[in-house]
């Protein structure tokens, strides 16, 4: 499962093996060896298996969990609340979000999610029959 997930993540971002190796080599700790394109290619083909440190670097680079990368889980959920309070740079349609933007968007989403139950309760109260009114979008 790991080789397929790694290949899919890399190809999904249109990154070559060389570009991925270069990115992984940007922040090497003392004693870490550099990654090569052929090494990553061997991981993708299942010929070799990366060390825990290498797998963790890949998971961090692609912003996925190790469980997702190794196939332990099929979901790669991202909690938007945690993302907005993280130190990661965020953008929307290629426009960087300031800390104020992040806070306001967080508040909007939080209000929407918490208000959802109230809207459902109100809908149940006013819609006593089972037929639902449809919105005609033909202009």
pLDDT in tens, 24-55: 998 777 788 899 999 999 999 999 999 998 99
Q: How many residues does the chain have?
A: 139
Q: For the chain, first and last CA: distance in Å?
A: 48
pLDDT of 130 strictly over 60 = no
Q: Rounded distance, CA 28 to CA 116, Å?
A: 46
- Please compute the mean of the pLDDT values over residues 113-132 and round it to a whole number: 68
Q: What pTM was estimated for this model as a whole?
A: 0.54
CB–CB of 44/7 below 8 Å? Answer: yes
| DSSP letter assigned to residue 92 | E
With CA atoms as reference, report the closest residue to 6 among 65, 57, 70, 60: 70
* pLDDT at 6 (0 to 100): 94
Q: Which CATH class is domain 2-77?
A: mainly alpha
């Amino acid at each position: 499962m790991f080789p397929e997930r790694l290949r899919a993540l890399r190809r999904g971002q249109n990154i070559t093996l060389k570009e991925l190796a270069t990115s992984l080599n940007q922040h090497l700790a003392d004693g870490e060896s550099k990654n090569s394109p052929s090494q990553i290619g061997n991981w993708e083909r299942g010929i070799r298996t990366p060390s825990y440190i290498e797998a963790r670097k890949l998971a961090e680079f692609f912003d996925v969990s190790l469980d997702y990368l190794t196939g332990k889980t099929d979901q790669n959920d991202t909690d938007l609340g945690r993302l907005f309070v993280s130190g990661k740079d965020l953008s929307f349609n290629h426009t960087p979000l300031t800390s104020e933007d992040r806070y306001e968007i967080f508040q909007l989403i939080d209000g929407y999610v918490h208000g959802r139950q109230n809207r459902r309760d109100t809908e149940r109260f006013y819609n006593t029959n089972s037929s639902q009114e449809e919105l005609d979008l033909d202009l």
